Structure 1
Amino acid sequence: MSHQRALVLFAHGARAASWAAPFERLRDLTRAREPQVRVELAFLELMSPRLPELVAALTADGVNDITVVPVFLGQGGHVLRDLPLILDDLRVAYPQASIKVVEAAGENAAVLNALSDYCVAALESAPSN
């Protein structure tokens, strides 16, 4: 199947490979829900692919509509400063592609409500000491 659209889950990255496991599960769950969209995972640092590498590969494959979802809980320096600079460079390097970015996942009301539901449920499921 040829994908013309991509959804890029953008995470920080870490030295331990196991750190990426929840992000890989999120990618896989999202792929299952959106089979007509190419869903990929990219990292800011320490892991591959980095966002510029992934966008290069996507555009080489003919993907021209890219949405970036920062899977960060808050909008710290990486989301507020680093990501916009990376996106500016990518938009110059790949003018044929529409590269959009949405708010950090942790800034979204639905995500916060889901996390709150999980936290409240923890009151019932946590073992008693």
Structure 2
Amino acid sequence: MGKHGMILFGHGARDARWKEPFTRLAAKLAAARGEAGPVGLAFLELMTPDLPSAIAAQADAGCESITVVPVFFGQGGHVRRDLPEIVARCQAGHPGVQLRCAGAVGEDEAVLDAIVQYCLGAAQD
């Protein structure tokens, strides 16, 4: 099996500090994946790289498949409408690379359970 890249896809913000937890998340994911393939970040707007640039970088690095993980709390318009359009354009530009999108991380039960635990801990502080 070839190299499998992952890209964490966020909205983006004007304040550079907003990116910090995404950078930490990408580093943790890269460490957990080991040699499985690269982990990158991409943003819809206001920050770089954008998703087409991040996909192109991983394709150029030899990834045969790339999973895009929307780091959004829910499936709003950006995840339901904008993301599939961007991925379709990228797929057309990289026909030899299999592109796949995961669901928004905030809709996963394990993520919601972790947030519940965080909230319970915050109430005890």
Asked whether the two chains share a fold, i.e. TM above 0.5, the reply is yes
Measured after TM superposition, the shift of residue 121 of structure 1 is 1.1
Find the residue that maps to 2:87 and give its secondary structure: helix
Alignment match, 2:98: 98
| Number of residue pairs matched by the alignment | 123
Find the residue that maps to 2:113 and give its secondary structure: helix
Q: Aligned partners of 1:65, 1:17: CA distance in 2, in Å?
A: 30
Pair 1:10 & 2:6 matched:
no
Find the residue that maps to 2:110 and give its secondary structure: helix
Measured after TM superposition, the shift of residue 64 of structure 1 is 1.3
Find the residue that maps to 1:47 and give its secondary structure: coil
Aligned structure 1 segments of 4 or more residues deviating by more than 4 angstroms: none
Pair 1:29 & 2:28 matched:
yes
Measured after TM superposition, the shift of residue 14 of structure 1 is 0.6
Q: How does 1:1-129 map to 2 (within 5 A)?
A: 4-36=3-35, 37-125=37-125
Q: Aligned partners of 1:82, 1:115: CA distance in 2, in Å?
A: 26
Q: Aligned partners of 1:93, 1:69: CA distance in 2, in Å?
A: 20
Measured after TM superposition, the shift of residue 43 of structure 1 is 0.6
Structure with max Cα Rg = 1
* Runs of 5+ unmatched residues, structure 2: none
Measured after TM superposition, the shift of residue 35 of structure 1 is 1.4
Q: Aligned partners of 2:27, 2:78: CA distance in 1, in Å?
A: 24
Deviations 1:37-73 (A, max 9, x none): 2111111111111000111111112111100100000
Measured after TM superposition, the shift of residue 91 of structure 1 is 1.0
Measured after TM superposition, the shift of residue 95 of structure 1 is 0.6
Deviations 1:71-93 (A, max 9, x none): 00011110010001001111111
With normalisation by structure 1, the TM-score equals 0.92
Provide the alpha-carbon RMSD of the alignment: 1.0
Q: Aligned partners of 1:103, 1:59: CA distance in 2, in Å?
A: 22
